[in-house]
Structure 1
Amino acid sequence: MRHSTIPPGRVCLKACQHDLDCRSRKKSCLCDGICGLSCIKHNQGCEDLRDIPNGLVEAADNCFGTVARYSCDDGYQLTGDPVRVCQGDETWSGAEPHCLLDLNIEKVACGRPPEVNHAVHNGYPDKVTYELGTMLQYECLPDFTATVKTAVRAWCVGGGVWVGPSMTCTHAGCPHLEEPENGWVNQEPTNTVGSRVVFHCNRGYFLSGRAQTTCLTSGSWDSVPPSCEKVMCAPPPELTHATHDEDPERLVFPSGYHVTYTCAHGYRPDGEARAVCSGDGEWIALSLLCSPQSCGFPGDVLNGWRTGYAFTFPHIVNYYCHEGFELQGVGHRVCGAEGEWSGQVPTCKPVTCPTLFAPVYGKMFGSGNKFGTVIRFECNDSYRVLGSKERRCQADRTWTGETTKCQEINCGWPTSFYNGLLIGENTLAGSVIFYSCKVHATFEGDAFQTRCLETGEWSEPPPLCWGQCQVPNVVDADWINRPPNVWVNHNTSVEFRCKTGLRPRDGLRMRCNNGTWTSTAECLPAPCESHPPHVHNGMRVFLGNEHGHKAKYSCFPGYRLYGVNGSYLQCHYGDWVGGRPHCEEHHCPNPGTLPHGKILQVDNYNIPSFIFQSYITRIRHGDRLVYKCNVGFQLSGAGGATCVNGEWQPPIGDPGKVCVPARHPPAQKLWIPTTNIRA
């Protein structure tokens, strides 16, 4: 099972449960440590491991799953992972461990010091034990040298272990080398370690083996001396359109060998035909060039063209004809090996079309039926050409256009026109038709007649016959510039004037449009130009200003309507008639005097303010009065009245009956209050 947390840098491959989950025969479902079951390649591996300083590593190989085990030399202690495993992401698990000096080891003496080939140390040769901390110095024997960057000391450390040296003593030089046969060698008088020797061969020979060798520390050369073998050439070069006289299967040729070349059939030689194998292993002296035979100019074709501009063996030229021509003969020529063209130059002859004849009732101009021939056709008088007037013979052996026929020309009757007549007998070519307009219509056009042309069309289009209009007799109107019942031409305008109190329905101007008036001449009663007059202290009600409409008048309370018959004004032929309405204020009569009492006027605060005098005459609508009886009298009936539209309400009756004697007169005071006096 794959862990939930994966260390940084660790890459887990595709998870799986079975090999089939990997979808590849090159992978298997294997356990990959903390990644669990994963798809692993069969040949997957990790990089090779190296021994660690003062220790070593042991591993069977570096394939997936291999276990590497680390160990340290005596006197050293392993720090880190002692075991590492090759993982699925091609890395080793963990980190490389280290071997550190073990300082806790028991302190004992060291045995004999390490031996180094071809070297001695500065200790006693017969001494077998050395104390801890002893340091020995090593040096190489004569004729031997130590390698660069090596440790030349040995140190006795805890646990009886010698540390060092790590040196190698090599021989001082190599033996002298002899010159190879048919060659020589460049070398120093003394071949020290690292010296290089270079070998050379005489001309005509080549070096077989390494050209250089180096002196090793062991005193031997790093390679076997080469030999000088005779130079050989590769197969001779290939020439275009030529072959040589040697076996084509042979692969090598000794220096000095020569071959001879021959040009192929149809090609002429030019230059040196022999090649020689030189001492450098190259073929020399050959300069042969095989040029094709020339056949000269092949010729051109009349009414056609030629393709191909190479006139040498084995080229081909082709011939073609222009449009309308066909090739007679072979359409190509080949330049032969002997320098001659095959066959003859072909010819181009024009194609032919079927023979044409003159149409019935017509003539044909031109003759022949070869490509490019043009034939023209004409028809007799009163006939016209149907089809093509001219036809040309084409490259596909057909004539251009359509079959030519002659048809009798008939223009047909001209298009009928409004308010007009056609006068004539027939419509064939040359016939004349006259145009005429009907009564009360005016003629407008370029001509009064038209002729049938050879094109089958009329020479002049039909005219326009504009209908006239009759001036109507209008009741209650007078015509200004035309008397009634006369006829006027199209587009003529007339004016009329309605009599007093009337107005026109559609305007005072009429225009004749092809026999029809654009508007109607009719006079209607005129409306009133303004609204009915206002009335002060009153109101009016009306619906409009049209003829016959009425306006109703009424006055505010306390006023009466005067100056009008009834209560209406009426719009009559442009004027409001029925009088001059106005509202006049209507006062109540003075109530006079009240026997045994007084009449008081009530103010705006409903308080009796003053006594009505006999000279007061302007008593307005809404004014009020109250009765006040003298002592010994009492009211009989209403206690007052109000002026309503010029009348008292309730009506004032007999003034002598308003205050009547009281039945129980008030008692007189029998005593008078006095101040309390004490004696």
Structure 2
Amino acid sequence: MASCLKAIWNEGFQQVVFGATHLLFFSALISELTNQKEVAAWTYHYSTNAYSWNVSRSFCQKYFTDLVAIQNKNEIAYLNDVIPYYSSYYWIGIRKINNNWTWVGTKKTLTKEAENWADGEPNNKKNNQDCVEIYIKSQSAPGKWNDEPCWKRKRALCYTASCQDMSCSKQGECIETIGNYTCSCYPGFYGPECEYVRECGEFDLPPHVLVNCSHPLGSFSFNSQCSFYCPEGHQLSGPSKLECSPSGVWTDEPPQCVAVQCQDLPAPNKAQMNCSHPFGAFRYQSTCSFTCDEGLLLAGAGVLQCLAPGSWSAAPPECQVAISCPPLLSPQNGTVTCIQPLGAFSYKSTCQFICDEGFSLSGPERLDCTPSGHWTGSPPTCEAIKCPELFAPEQGSLDCSDTLGKFNVGSTCHFSCNKDFKLEGYNNVECTTSGRWSAPPPTCNGVASVPTLEVQCPVLVPPGQGTMSCRHHLGTFGLNTTCYFGCKAGFRLVGDSTVRCRPSGQWTAVTPACRAVKCSELHVNKPVMMNCSNLWGDFSYGSTCTFHCPEGQSLNGSVRTACRENGHWSTTTPTCQAGPLTIQEALAYFGGAVASATGLVMGGTLLALLRKRFRQKEDGKCPLNSQSHLGTYGVFTNAAFDPSP
């Protein structure tokens, strides 16, 4: 469709705005129209009344965009063709600002391409000719320009811009054209609307290189910046920072991380050096160990390591002659005898230790001085020989010559019985050099009738989760009553399994307890979530734990495990893996089971969900530093207290 001229007459609107009738707006649409639908385009308008330049501009800004800003001679030819002749001509949006002719609407200086002065213009005749008129349909100079005083009255030639705030995606300059606009994209952007950003793409990181990137316009795109750094003991070789340029190319290649270099180490004289170099010869974390020839002493550190600053952990050692071991002294209550072929306590010296009577050697009987200057062991000690600890017999007493109660060799002990009891065995025993008593301890037996039926021990009850069985000899819980204890499956006995009622009316031990068998503590890896209930204590017999995964992942393994009576879990801990929705998961999206009739209606939606889930898995894209808020990873237990023994 050819360009058209549209005249609009709206007398009521003119009266409201200007308070006069006969005001005609003329609009010339520059773009092609299809089926009379409106499109974004630059349109021209003019007033039928004449105003000063300032009033004309206010008129254009009020009803349109501004006084027209002409960009090229094609536009001038078009205006001269479609705008009607008017004797005083038309104001256009250019005036002198700081002695520069400037388009006031776009704030751009007049270019040679758009310049169209009449011959001899601008001449600033009589001075202060700072505004510009256009000779529409002039016989002598059609479409030409002339500078004029701004107070003169002329028609206003206005335009409505086709460029909008979001034109060119705010990533380029919107340039008005006849009937449309074009986008001049800023560096780094492209596309009809400058809607695309140049991409540099990801780069491969060399070993050990660490990077921190910012992406203001998209991942690894224009204006993305990446800073590089190295771990401890390494230094950058290359640029420390890269930028994605407007052309979609990185400003440089990524740097390398090179291990810090330490000074080369020569092997000391008469020594062997053994080194390992994980990052290169004598670089960071290189380790060298030193050993001297036999008979020589290593002076200095035996192992050196190349540290992060590029220096060794110590100075290189040396091998010296005359190796000697620390002097040895005779142990208390003993003696040492040495053979020293190369000097006092020197290399190859051998020392023998002997203890006095009544004492035994604790430690090695012989020590040798090694080439490293160390004895083959720690010096021994002579410990007094002891016999087993003795106790007074029931219904008797014990008196020993060893007042400190150490029962050393030579100690003697005397036994005696209470009234009405007879001593059976030796009443005196002695601790011999073999560490044994000269006779076994005696016992005290009753020789007369004893009121045993009067002896009564406290009543016993079975422990919780346990069993008790008693043999009553002289009445219920009387003298010599013996009780046996056990625990139910899943519980273990803590304490003596058998107790007996003594003549003193006390049991030989306290009642034992039954504690739940412990299973190993469960740990799960993210993102598995676990919830546990504990009947008899955390991770004990009877504890049950259930597992689930965040939305979008499925459980690989059993959903439940229990602590068995043998102290083992019934199943292993599961893992989470991404995968397509199961039918149960899909039904869960609709709040529960779906009836068969409803299922036919919802089938399309269910299929869409499954396809969406499948695409998500294929894309393999996930946000950096993603976090789940569906639950806290780790172990959840109840507050049951497990009073472990």
Structure with the greater alpha carbon radius of gyration: 1
Output the TM-score relative to the length of structure 1.
0.20
**Structure with the higher fraction of residues in helix conformation:** 2
**Structure with the higher fraction of residues in strand conformation:** 1
